[in-house]
Structure 1
Amino acid sequence: MFKYKVRMDIRMRKKNGEYTRILYQAMVFELNEDGSVLRSFGAHTDIGHLKMERKPSLSFIGFDGEPSYTNVQINEVLIPIKETLSKREKQILILIMNGMLNKEIAEHLHISKETVDKHRKNMLEKNNCKNSNELIAKAIKKGWI
């Protein structure tokens, strides 16, 4: 399972022309072999009675001890960026996000553990990250995955 849920709120116009705020929460719970989403769960809640005048907000809420990233600047996230991860690196990073160890990733992708180690090291170096948590946070914030 993913260790994050996405939470965002937006202003939406109702059929009668009035505006309200909608809270959207979603979590991915199944991926296919190439890391694409197969199943997710999302919920929409009208929060207009709680919040009307503030800007939209976007947050990534961590589970199982993972850090949370609240009130992420939406404009920064939506700016198109240059891809820095290869297709294989994205696959590996998604499996890391799902809590898999390098040995498990190697078995899942039918490659050697040393190849996974090398990909992981390369991803950290070329993105100037000290650890996998920092890399995951950067990948989410930049929209790489």
Structure 2
Amino acid sequence: MIVNFIEQIQQTYKENRDYYIKTLQNKNFINESFRTDDDYILPGKSLQFLINIDDLTFTLLQNTGVKYEVPEEPTSLDYLFQDLDKVLLEEDRIVYMNAIDVTFKKHLALFNEKDPFLFRSSFVFRVKRENERITSYLQHNIPIKIEDGRIRQFFSVVTDISHSLIEQNNRISFYNMKDKEEYHYELKDKLHEGKIPQLHLSNRELEILQFVIQGLNTKDMAKALDISVETVNRHRKNMIKKNNKKNIIHLATEAFKQNLI
């Protein structure tokens, strides 16, 4: 049980406000088409937010059929946290905080300079209101502004999915919008560490797996790491064999689930 959800979710955002990837320092990226690629917006009641990480505020961009009002624009995220604290199911609270934490770290880990906003993420959470009815929501997150290696803004869409077949599965999904591939991270793994066999990977092998997730080919990996194509292929074969995996995609997916990349 989380005694003070508000304090802990505040801390999660504040810690990730300062989280950055060193190789992206002094580089800035802006996603100007985040509202045109809207195939992920499901029919039904929904809220669209612009979340500003610098000052921890949000702006409500669109409200489609949801009984929700904000006192001012922009609004402190504390207002949102207080509302969640009242209705979020107890068993979903740790999952929700883990999802926010992973959202920041994985989006930066999956960052591809050639296509910086290639991935969007999503997770499910549930609330219970005064009428005792449990409502499930699907939250999509898309980073739209990166400065100096840090995520500065997110576009978030929260949709009522109670009418759908989508259920709470305690995982966050990252969707590659170019290759139409999806990667899943089991959020409960962070609460039950040790039950999943750990992978054995060197720092160089982890770098290669991160490039695999980003969709780089072997030649581009070799160039980025300043090594030969033959060396990249040798690393790939070695890590597949010692971890007893079917192929490099299977291994990269497992490393992703274990929060190694």
SS at 1:43 equivalent: strand
Q: Alpha-carbon deviation of 1:79?
A: 3.2
Given residue 89 of structure 1, which amino acid in structure 2 is its aligned partner? E
Q: Alpha-carbon deviation of 1:134?
A: 1.2
- Equivalent pair of 2:120/2:141 in contact (CA under 8 Å): yes
Matched, 1:10 2:125: yes
Q: Alpha-carbon deviation of 1:131?
A: 1.4
User: How many pairs align?
Assistant: 134
- Equivalent pair of 1:11/1:56 in contact (CA under 8 Å): no
SS at 2:232 equivalent: helix
Matched, 1:95 2:225: no
Range that drifts further, 20-29 or 79-88: 20-29
Percent of aligned pairs with the same residue? 28
SS at 1:84 equivalent: coil
* Residue among 225, 235, 252 paired with 1:136: 252
* Residue among 87, 104, 107 paired with 2:220: 104
Q: Alpha-carbon deviation of 1:55?
A: 3.4
Given residue 112 of structure 1, which amino acid in structure 2 is its aligned partner? S
C-alpha distance after superposition, 1:76-97 (max 9, x if no partner): 4653354522222111111122
**In the aligned structure 2, how far is the partner of 1:114 from the partner of 1:130?**
20
Structure 2 residues not aligned, in runs of 5+: 1-114
Aligned to 1:47: 160
Q: Alpha-carbon deviation of 1:26?
A: 3.5
Q: Alpha-carbon deviation of 1:124?
A: 0.8
Distance 1:3 1:80, change over 3 A: farther
Q: Alpha-carbon deviation of 1:115?
A: 1.8
Structure 1 vs Structure 2 CA RMSD? 3.8
- Equivalent pair of 1:10/1:56 in contact (CA under 8 Å): no
**In the aligned structure 2, how far is the partner of 1:110 from the partner of 1:101?**
14
- Equivalent pair of 1:20/1:46 in contact (CA under 8 Å): no
- Equivalent pair of 2:138/2:161 in contact (CA under 8 Å): no
Given residue 23 of structure 1, which amino acid in structure 2 is its aligned partner? L
| 1:24-63 equivalent positions in 2, closer than 5 A | 24-26=139-141, 39=151, 41-47=154-160, 50=163, 55-58=168-171, 59-63=173-177
**In the aligned structure 1, how far is the partner of 2:242 from the partner of 2:227?**
22
Structure 1 residues not aligned, in runs of 5+: 32-36
